[in-house]
Structure 1
Amino acid sequence: MAVSARLAALSLLLFVTACGTEPAVNEPLPPPVPVARQVPADMAALVSAIDAFGLDLVTAPALASKTNLVVSPVSASLALQMAAAGAAGETAAQMTKVLRLPEGVRPALPAFDQTDLKLSNTAWVQQGLTLKPRYTDALRDQFGTTMNGADFVRDSDGARGRINKTVADQTAGKITDLFPPDTITGDTRLVLTNALYLKAAWAREFPRDRTKDMPFTRADGSTVTVPMMHNDPEKEPKAQLGYAQGPGYQVVTLPYRGGKLAFTVIVPASIEALRGKGIAEILSQVQPATVHLAMPRFTTRSEMDLKETLTQAGMPLAFTPAADFSGITDDQALLIASVRHKTFVQVDEEGTEAAAATGVEMKPVSAPAFRTVTVDRPFLFVITDTATGAPLFLGRVNDPTQ
């Protein structure tokens, strides 16, 4: 089967999946079919929820204007699940619905068992803020969260720097400045972060001498020249890839070394196919085949605040003074101020390096809006009796020096 320059027709839709199968001992080339096997029912339900949530993100109207868009459904979902673990009432109901969490299944950290993938959850808590034991237990037991103190009140910029450095360290320097200046302030009380990093080699690398410049047709019909990698399916031992096709699209799956990760590309980008079937269903249709594949070498980054996207998706309460996060602390009523999300993906002849981070910033509901007023021009003033409102003095000042 030939899947060559047709990969350039319109655009690419791709995703990396974690596989549940173990490669056979000493097997040099893992099977190309990435469908998870023998996954416990609760974990399968959570993975299905993350699948659906990811599709909601990548098709969100608020993100539609981005030329390239990469999200990490796992990272974004886990960070928000940590916040949702302390939500109650209608706030919890809205978050559960948007995150597509199944009823009766306790959210938890997926049991990714592989050395190529690193996942970290971290909480940063304002000094003196007392979290409820049940909430800290949930962060520790369900999400494996590392707890850190921070002094946002006295040194918000220093706290922001430490959070950003930790995330950068957790992603091998690929995600920097998750929280840009002015996003962490003296009003911040709790920050929850998830960081995900992978670096994996293809089971069969693309020969560099086969990479050639070729045209890529963008969604608007214009073309751009890209370095197009070409595999060598005739090389011994012959390496099959996963292949499937549907109405107007083709699917190719490439396994990474060890067989625990897989890269799948859908061309042309068919959101309709994903919406109709879901990632797991499309992957279940992949079968081993000899595929002549030409695919661009590329690097892409995405950065966004998911507040508007999540509000439009159906969880507005979490961002308003009506939010109910009473499961987190009794000290102050909290709301979500921002949900920062950054991703990085680099695909070349050797393999893939990818990173993602999500940060949920929480502030007190009662935090006053900060305004700056400089009285540096003519002004009026009034002195009133507060009991009656009677104006005792009323004045106009054009020159305070007179």
Structure 2
Amino acid sequence: MKLLIFLCLSQALLWVLVCGDHGGPHDDDHDHHDHHDHHDNEAEALHQISAASLKFSYKLYYHLAAAHPDDNFFFSPLSISIAFSLLSLGAKSKTLSQIQEGFCFNTSLTSEETIHKGFQKLLKIISQPKSGLQLDSNNALFIDNKLKVLDKFLEDAKKFYRSEAISTDFHKVKEALEQINSYVEKNTNGKIKDLLDNLDPMTVLVIVNTIFFKGSWEHAFNVNHTREDDFHVDDNTVVKVPMMNRRGEYLTGYISEIGCRVVDVPYKGNTSAIFIIPEKGKLREAEKALQNVSQETWEKAMKPSKILLSIPKFSMSEELDLVKELQALGITDVFSDHADLSGITGDSTLSVTKAVHKAVLKVDEEGTEAAAATGLGFMKLSGPLLRHVKIDRPFLFTIYNKDIATDLFTGRIINPTK
């Protein structure tokens, strides 16, 4: 009988609209002292990872959109990629190739070592503090205290993924659950409290990745300008939402090929929230057409414009059963008796029985009241008539980090009150 691995991926996205600068001093990239060759190799490795992560982001998005046509959803493609790439350190043969192909790594161009070095560089960049932005990713291996894990797997997990190894007694299920859930709660700043509610008695290893993001808008919204407004879920359903409003200059454009208005709302710390707002009733068509839009078309459409921007406040909690979703994308062996994870223990007695991805998202003005007195980033709503970009119907969104050129989070909101 196979012994079991749980992969647990959690993300807490606290999308906080705050005035002022609450971070420490800006931290320059420490890599400028590195040798040029080493720096070039690292840059190329990171580029490969970023490109693969974006492809996987689109791939999983379109699968979820088709599988859950009427639902809100969001996820961290980066969190999922990190956890499975860490797991792939111990994967062999078809199990390894399915993970690599499923996560869009072109192994004819990118070696295994380059993939792991790319994540090593990415996690190094993420860990550097930035003013006004908190972005943390942590990895942990909870290992049964009777399981003999190969030194190479543990060393590589630590070297490339900064993963700590934590001894766990899985025979004491309640204590093991508490140990894992406490780790997750701590590393998501208390936002995800119960990632796991049960453990299979055959479990010997749990791999956890957490991502926590807290951002301050580059130009804050004024809480006093938030008004209750209509959000058109579909032709027959209108709900009331608190709508935040701000006049300012934003990168925006209309992409006729997909019938969408796009607006880039920047955070401090080289990160943006990108909102994609399809024409009313055209969400499905827009999602389909998005797959074929070139980067050049996208960039050509986006221009800085003075607009009145209206964004709904919303919060949501999401849990994905990644076994089901990834099997649909062709990643099957790792979840079956055919799994070859012999790079973890030296034999092929391990398989993944459960892969959980849990996420919370909060978009509000928390913290703005205290900071509002400074008057930073506020503009009066009255004045010359501007183009009104109002997000009052189903939309897509992405949180994109320019330092690593990839999506931290992506999703779709059909109804912000659910």
TM-score (norm 2): 0.69
Alignment partners' CA distance in 2, 1:169 and 1:77: 22
2:220 match: 205
Cα shift readout 1:356-392 (whole Å, capped 9, x = no counterpart): 99xxxxxxxxxxxxxxxxxxxxxxxxxxxxxxxxxxx
Alignment partners' CA distance in 2, 1:304 and 1:277: 28
Partners of 1:122 and 1:145 within 8 A in 2: yes
1:163 and 2:180 equivalent? Answer: yes
Q: 1:321 aligns with which of 329, 337, 341?
A: 337
Cα shift readout 1:47-88 (whole Å, capped 9, x = no counterpart): 111111122222225741562101011111111111111110
Shift of 1:106: 2.1
Q: 2:145 aligns with which of 127, 130, 133?
A: 127
1:106 and 2:115 equivalent? Answer: yes
Q: Which 5+ residue runs of structure 2 have no aligned equivalent?
A: 1-12, 16-24, 27-39, 369-398, 400-407, 410-418
Q: 2:62 aligns with which of 59, 62, 66?
A: 59
Quote the sequence identity (%). 26
1:50 and 2:68 equivalent? Answer: no
Residue identity matched to 2:193:
T
Higher relative contact order (CA 8 A, sep 6+): 2
Partners of 2:316 and 2:361 within 8 A in 1: yes
Partners of 1:87 and 1:327 within 8 A in 2: yes
2:371 match: none
1:336 and 2:352 equivalent? Answer: yes
1:265 match: 275
1:256 match: 267
1:187 and 2:202 equivalent? Answer: yes
Q: How is 1:215-294 mapped onto 2 (pairs within 5 angstroms)? A: 215-219=230-234, 221-233=236-248, 240-247=249-256, 248-257=259-268, 259-268=269-278, 270-277=286-293, 282=298, 286-294=302-310
Is the helix fraction higher in 1 or 2? 2
Alignment length (residue pairs):
313
Bigger Cα Rg: 1
Alignment partners' CA distance in 2, 1:316 and 1:167: 27
Residue identity matched to 2:310:
A
Q: How is 1:338-353 mapped onto 2 (pairs within 5 angstroms)? A: 338-349=354-365
Cα shift readout 1:323-361 (whole Å, capped 9, x = no counterpart): 111111125611111110011111124699x9x99xxxx
1:174 match: 191
Alignment partners' CA distance in 2, 1:82 and 1:281: 35
Q: Which 5+ residue runs of structure 1 have no aligned equivalent?
A: 1-13, 17-25, 28-37, 234-239, 358-402
Shift of 1:299: 0.7
* CA RMSD after TM alignment: 2.9
Alignment partners' CA distance in 2, 1:290 and 1:64: 36
